[in-house]
Structure 1
Amino acid sequence: MIFVGTGPGDPDLLTLGAIAALGEANAVILDSESQREILDHPAIRLADGAEVAILGLSEAGKPLPPSARAKTVLKHAGAGARVVRLVSGDPFLDAAVSDEAAACVRGGVDFEVVPGVSSLTAVPEYAGVALNHAGGVHFVSATEGRFAKTAAAEWTGVATLVVSTRVSMINDFVEVATAVGRQPSEPALVTLHGGSTEQISIATTLGRIAAEVKAVPSEPGELIHLTLGAAVENRESLSWYETKPLFGWRVLVPRTKDQAASMTARLRTYGAHSDEVPTISVEPPRSPLQMDKAVRGLVEGRYEWVAFTSVNAVRAVREKFEQYGLDARAFSGLKVAAVGEATSAALKAWGIEPDLVPSGEQSAAGLAAEWPPYDEVLDPINRVFLPRADIATETLSAALTELGWEVEDVTAYRTVRAAPPAAPVREAIKTGKFDAVVFTSSSTVRNLVGIAGKPHASTIIACIGPATAKTCEEHGLRVDVIASKPSAVELADALAGFAADRRDALVANGDPVTKPSQRRSSRRRS
């Protein structure tokens, strides 16, 4: 049994020890559904067949008591599985899981602890509070029961008080804090969802905390962080997280989670929250004969090169290999090309190091521009295996033919339009609740409009290149951002640059800094 601290909310704060523990787990136990975002992080790779369970809440909607949590932990650990229990913050400091650990000992189950970044220090720092005040800082983690006046007596002798508690305990905290001598007029900072892209910080006073929290949608069992005293006074000048260019933006990414991993990770560094909506579904070719023949030819030494133009192509060939009981060793002696970084990463995850990845434009045209011409002396075989989608263009195939290569163009998978997203997502797209949408190809534009409708006029449209931008314009969409290079990461950077310029313009004009979804345009895209 391993108790793993996850930090306050930002998946990037996971330690190497946490990542290693998750990769070896047979079962993972989460506090709540919201922790699934951690498992979606690109650095996390769960073992095949790993079970994911959620503790959830009691029938009364409150956090489970230690005895109930321990029962769930022992149920999984008792089966001989390697169990990871994910807890917010640091296990023994923030999460109060010592009772669960003690239950493991009583049940004859060994346990380990992988410390995490404590939310008591991290959340104030994410909110822009420096905790090195000369008057001293006192930390309180109270997530169960009630605040006791006897223990709270220590709160009076320090300049700054940092408290981690639950929304349901706010009134009790304010009552005890004022009873032991903290003044209602004392400056305070309330932080909800600390360390996440949904973080909310409210500057107020001790006497106003309860009213401010009541005005914000929250659940009684939700964690909340309170900072009182002198350290709060300089918070505005030190705020760094909530002033990121895309902080709080809801960005629509018309791709699957696997395809969008690098982009969503980059968007998160700018403070954005991404919603992935698949616009295509990948299916096997109508007939497997062509792929079967190509794979046999690959094993028999029919090809000099194999060119992968997408992650889906890598996945399709890998699945076909597994059907035959083959692995990456069958590529020994072959030269392998990948169209870009994402495809290259998929090959490396399979154990294949690409021989050619374009250093410039990451596209079929970019790969063709750097492909060597066929040389009768240096190249014993002149054939190239090109597994691709049924709707892919002939750009690479035609270019390689001109270079003297014989290309065997094989349909490795079919792309069909995905099912429409859930009704709330379609409504959000049409009514402007998304701040931006990032299009990575012309097909994502056509398919998104087809399954969900056009984005609202207030939504910022960002495109990976001129061809995608042209398709947007053909569908009546105003294009606001075009990436300088056809790369998902470059597209995220370009959107962040646009947002930073937009913010600077609002500040220069004396206007409040709002998100696009908060500034509705009466003019809709036709």
Structure 2
Amino acid sequence: MWLVGAGPGDPGLLTVRGRELLATADVVVTDRLAAAVLLDVARPDAHVIHVGKSPTTSRSQDEVNALLVEHARAGARVVRLKGGDPFLLGRGGEEAEACAAAGVSCTVVPGVTSAIAVPAYAGIPVTHRGVAQDLAIISGHLPPGHPDSTVDWAALGASRATIVVLMGVARLVDIVDALLAGGRPPATPAAVVERGTTPAQRVLRTTLDALVVDAVAFGLRSPAVLVVGEVAARRDAAVPIPPVAAATAAPGARAGSGWPGAAGGAPLAGIRVLVPRTRARQGLLARRLRELGAEAVETVVSRLLPTGDATPLREALPGADGLVLADSDEVAAVVSLLRGAGTDVRALTGLTLVAASASAAAALDALGLACVRSSAEVQVAYTVVTEVPVPGLRVVICGAAAPPVGIRTLRRVPLLVDAPAEADPRIAEELRHGDLDAVTLASSTAARCLVELYGPLPDGVLVAAMGRRTAQACEAMGLRVDAVPSEPGIYPLAAAVVDLVASRRAPTA
């Protein structure tokens, strides 16, 4: 079992070792604060378990410990993916302790901590020669004066150390009062960095005495890092992630509408877009949205299941020369349907099996079945077969593949049906708390499954649908559609989101 630090939010800050382990894991147990895009590094068949770790929704620490032990004892390669660094206010020590007590080997892979990286991304050095030589990193989870707190707030108030507080948004009033009571001057610079190191980063710069009022006007939300001390007034470096929406408020200033302006030529800077996917593999739409500056939050909303009826397949095979399989899911479905009908892959004897993708070829090879590969492929929504290097075949096509060029298609047999996946508690929470600005729906299946899993979307969420059929599916599910691009495709859909956001940001008369 490995405890892997995911870093503070920017996926580029995941360590090389962390990426290697994540790519080979059988089971990934992840927090809410770990960047969702990091899960694209994991294998498509990896079991991903979300354990929350948010102020409102979370599994207990005992439940998390039990999950790690259970899967590790079953022989799985388990990666516990934790935001920031596992051993800095992340309860990684407790998880390592639980594994050791259960006889499970545990290795720690340190991560970049938000306590230092987040201020740095706002241009704030937590130490600076002649200004601050000491640093205190504090948990704000417990309020000052709580009997279980080990923090000496009076001493911190009396010191000149830079104070960095994690998990302190809910206790902001108590923290400010404790520092002022301990002797920190009211005019001490203070800064709060919300969603640090991500494209949605916002920075509030103010003073200690004005911090609470300014935070309310700013609309401050968790997760955020608080910095108190002379260094909080500094801007010693450019923000290293283009683009970042740095909505900076002066002391006493009020924040805007909550829709930060575009920065650095990226029209979706500061915008969080939900991208429901119907397959586990990484989506090109999310990549395009990130290129435009958005924070794309991907989630798989559907899964493929065998139809359960082998009759169409068995009726189609007599008289056929070949069977075209689009991917590994279709190979697995063929095996499942044949077994359900009381037979096995021997029913395919004499057929030329055509693999339309590398995953289909690998799956057939694992079964000991020879196959031919299509000589050309085009990736659209599924793998599309364009040519098969065996002329004259009469083939049966399984579901997703398109008819091969120059080959007679006897019949198309659907093997798989879409069904809603399991709801992701992280997504449910972000929708509930209004943390998402827009949703892109690339198919009618994505629209249907999204609503079935999470219910109606909040009124303020913009919805862009790819094409008329997807828009009709949205309407059938009671989902308002704000934009449909004039032509289908990833780029037009992303452009529709840009237009929606520009319209929302435009000042009203």
Instruction: Compute the TM-score of the two structures, normalised by the length of structure 1.
Output: 0.61
**Counterpart in the other structure of 2:380:** 362
**Counterpart in the other structure of 1:271:** 294
Cα contact 1:42–1:262 (8 A) shared by 2: no
After superposition, the Cα gap between the structure-2 partners of 1:448 and 1:181, relative to the gap in structure 1 and judged at 3 Å, is closer
User: What is the 5 A alignment of 1:424-443?
Assistant: 435-441=437-443
Q: Which is further off, 210-219 or 119-128?
A: 210-219
Distance between the aligned counterparts of 1:120 and 1:500, measured in 2?
32
**Counterpart in the other structure of 1:2:** 2
Residue 379 of structure 2 corresponds to residue 383 of structure 1: no
Alignment partner of 2:334 out of 310, 314, 320: 320
Q: Structure 1 unaligned runs (5+)?
A: 339-343, 513-518, 520-526
Distance between the aligned counterparts of 2:486 and 2:136, measured in 1?
48
User: What is the 5 A alignment of 1:7-18?
Assistant: 7-10=7-10, 13-18=13-18
Distance between the aligned counterparts of 2:455 and 2:44, measured in 1?
35
After superposition, the Cα gap between the structure-2 partners of 1:319 and 1:445, relative to the gap in structure 1 and judged at 3 Å, is closer
Post-superposition offset of 1:114: 0.7
Post-superposition offset of 1:245: 3.3
Cα contact 2:316–2:411 (8 A) shared by 1: no
Q: CA RMSD in A?
A: 5.9
**Counterpart in the other structure of 2:313:** 291
**Counterpart in the other structure of 1:184:** 186
Distance between the aligned counterparts of 2:299 and 2:68, measured in 1?
35
Letter in structure 2 aligned against 1:438: T
User: What is the 5 A alignment of 1:100-111?
Assistant: 101=96, 110-111=105-106
Cα contact 2:465–2:493 (8 A) shared by 1: no
Letter in structure 2 aligned against 1:306: V
Residue 107 of structure 2 corresponds to residue 112 of structure 1: yes
Post-superposition offset of 1:78: 9.2
After superposition, the Cα gap between the structure-2 partners of 1:137 and 1:209, relative to the gap in structure 1 and judged at 3 Å, is farther
User: What is the 5 A alignment of 1:387-466?
Assistant: 387-388=398-399, 396-397=402-403, 404-413=406-415, 435-441=437-443, 462=464, 464=466
After superposition, the Cα gap between the structure-2 partners of 1:171 and 1:21, relative to the gap in structure 1 and judged at 3 Å, is same
Cα contact 1:267–1:274 (8 A) shared by 2: no
Cα contact 2:44–2:280 (8 A) shared by 1: no
**Counterpart in the other structure of 1:337:** 356
Letter in structure 2 aligned against 1:2: W
Residue 484 of structure 2 corresponds to residue 494 of structure 1: no
**Counterpart in the other structure of 1:515:** none
Query: 3-state DSSP class of the match of 1:156?
Result: coil
**Counterpart in the other structure of 1:524:** none
User: What is the 5 A alignment of 1:223-302?
Assistant: 224-226=225-227, 228-230=229-231, 232-234=233-235, 238=239, 240-242=243-245, 243=263, 245-249=267-271, 251=273, 253=275, 255-256=277-278, 258=280, 261-264=283-286, 266-267=288-289, 270-274=293-297, 278=301, 284-285=306-307, 287-292=309-314, 302=321
Letter in structure 2 aligned against 1:245: P
Residue 82 of structure 2 corresponds to residue 87 of structure 1: yes
Query: 3-state DSSP class of the match of 1:190?
Result: strand
Post-superposition offset of 1:79: 5.0
After superposition, the Cα gap between the structure-2 partners of 1:272 and 1:36, relative to the gap in structure 1 and judged at 3 Å, is closer
Letter in structure 1 aligned against 2:312: Q
Post-superposition offset of 1:186: 3.0
After superposition, the Cα gap between the structure-2 partners of 1:290 and 1:190, relative to the gap in structure 1 and judged at 3 Å, is same
Query: 3-state DSSP class of the match of 1:17?
Result: helix
After superposition, the Cα gap between the structure-2 partners of 1:204 and 1:102, relative to the gap in structure 1 and judged at 3 Å, is same
After superposition, the C-alpha distances for 1:88-127 in whole angstroms (9 at most, x for unaligned) are: 2112345364465467667765432111121123222444
Question: Identity over aligned residues, as a percent?
Answer: 25
Distance between the aligned counterparts of 2:275 and 2:214, measured in 1?
33
**Counterpart in the other structure of 1:124:** 119
After superposition, the Cα gap between the structure-2 partners of 1:335 and 1:236, relative to the gap in structure 1 and judged at 3 Å, is same
Cα contact 2:275–2:298 (8 A) shared by 1: yes
Give the helix-richer structure, 1 or 2: 1
Q: Structure 2 unaligned runs (5+)?
A: 143-148, 246-262, 366-371
Post-superposition offset of 1:194: 3.5
Post-superposition offset of 1:203: 2.9
Distance between the aligned counterparts of 2:273 and 2:194, measured in 1?
21
Cα contact 1:94–1:118 (8 A) shared by 2: no
Letter in structure 2 aligned against 1:207: D
Post-superposition offset of 1:433: 9.9
After superposition, the C-alpha distances for 1:8-32 in whole angstroms (9 at most, x for unaligned) are: 24556433433444566676655x5
Cα contact 1:198–1:273 (8 A) shared by 2: no
After superposition, the Cα gap between the structure-2 partners of 1:86 and 1:452, relative to the gap in structure 1 and judged at 3 Å, is closer
Q: Which is further off, 182-191 or 121-130?
A: 121-130
Letter in structure 2 aligned against 1:91: P
Letter in structure 2 aligned against 1:410: R
Post-superposition offset of 1:230: 4.0
After superposition, the Cα gap between the structure-2 partners of 1:450 and 1:100, relative to the gap in structure 1 and judged at 3 Å, is closer
Post-superposition offset of 1:406: 0.9
Instruction: Compute the TM-score of the two structures, normalised by the length of structure 2.
Output: 0.63
Number of matched residues? 456
Post-superposition offset of 1:180: 6.6
Distance between the aligned counterparts of 1:100 and 1:442, measured in 2?
41
Letter in structure 1 aligned against 2:332: R
After superposition, the Cα gap between the structure-2 partners of 1:151 and 1:25, relative to the gap in structure 1 and judged at 3 Å, is farther
Letter in structure 1 aligned against 2:329: R
